[in-house]
Amino acid sequence: MTFAPLPTHPRVTDPDWQARYKAFGPLISALRRRDFVTDITFDGDTEAITAELPDGSYLRIDTGDEIGDLPDDIDAAIAWRTIRDSGDNPTVRDTVYDSTPDGPDFLNGALLSPLLVAIDTYLGARGIALLTVTDVHPVVVTVTTIHDHGPAAYEIRKAFPIASREAARYAWAVAQSLPAGFTQQHLSPDWPRYVLADRDRTRVVQATLAELAYSSKATHGPCVCRFTHPQTREEEDQLGQQIADGIKIGDAHGVYLASLRLFTAPQCPARTANARG
């Protein structure tokens, strides 16, 4: 899978810019998979994610608050607003998506899946972009388990060819089957998300785009492992760097955990589907 290149401005070497870019990695990576050069831009005191489109226009994505800023981290977002704009053509200005409290998509809140589907639908209908991802939008139902102590576990329970109420009903059935109490429910019709707490662990059950799952090829090789491990070349490289850094500073515990993740489940279908070429 290829990604659009990074922007060419000097800020790409700035650690602060790099940290902000990484903080919104799931959304930025999805946009770059669509071959859009994606940036974190600043306009005075405001900040936004921008994605360049082939026709010279661009998407501006923010959280839709009064100053149109971005939170500290993607997990802190409560809504998304996407506007297509153009610096050269003042007649081009469309609201593509708006899940703010006053927007038509408010039931989706900060979920990324409906945001990306709306972007794909808008651009595809207007022939603006030849998307490099499928327009069918396969969906997976996932369970993430976060322990108070120890590593998180990630599991893809089932794949579906498209977003559907069937997938949503399955996510609800999975959530109900877990021995835990609900602490949060995001009842988007096609993209439900449930958070459950059980003593020292929290579980998150959700229906999400397969491309947003840890395995970008989840429908071809779903991961059912309970110990999270790398499923892409990028994740393997990151773990390798963590191991090297840990050795340098003498972090034996960190080296052990990173090595355990790196070498866990070498025959997992998701790993073999995304094997190094």
Distance CA 205, CA 118 (A): 22
Instruction: Determine the Cα–Cα distance for residues 205 and 173; give it in Å rounded to an integer.
Output: 10
pLDDT of residue 133: 54
For 42-57, write each residue's pLDDT tens digit: 877 788 999 999 989 9
Is 141:167 a contact under the CB 8 Å cutoff? yes
Residue ranges of the chain with per-residue pLDDT less than 70: 1, 65-68, 130-135, 148-152, 214-228, 231, 265-277
pLDDT score recorded for residue 112: 94
CA distance 166 to 162: 10
Give the pLDDT of residue 268: 65
At 221 the pLDDT is 44
Q: Which of 187, 183, 184 is nearest to 171 (CA)?
A: 187
Q: What is the pLDDT of residue 269?
A: 56
What integer pLDDT is reported at residue 224 of this predicted model? 52
Tokens linked to 172: 């609800």
Residue 81's closest CA among 45, 106, 58? 106
- What pLDDT, on the 0 to 100 scale, is given for residue 226? 55
Among 120, 155, 153, which Cα is nearest to 140's? 155
- Where do the domains of the chain lie? 10-126, 139-273
Tell me how far CA of residue 170 lies from CA of 158, 179, 208, in angstroms.
9, 16, 12
Locus of tokens 């050269």: 88
Contact between 192 and 206 (Cβ < 8 Å): yes
- Least Cα distance to 96 among 57, 68, 122, 69 occurs for 122
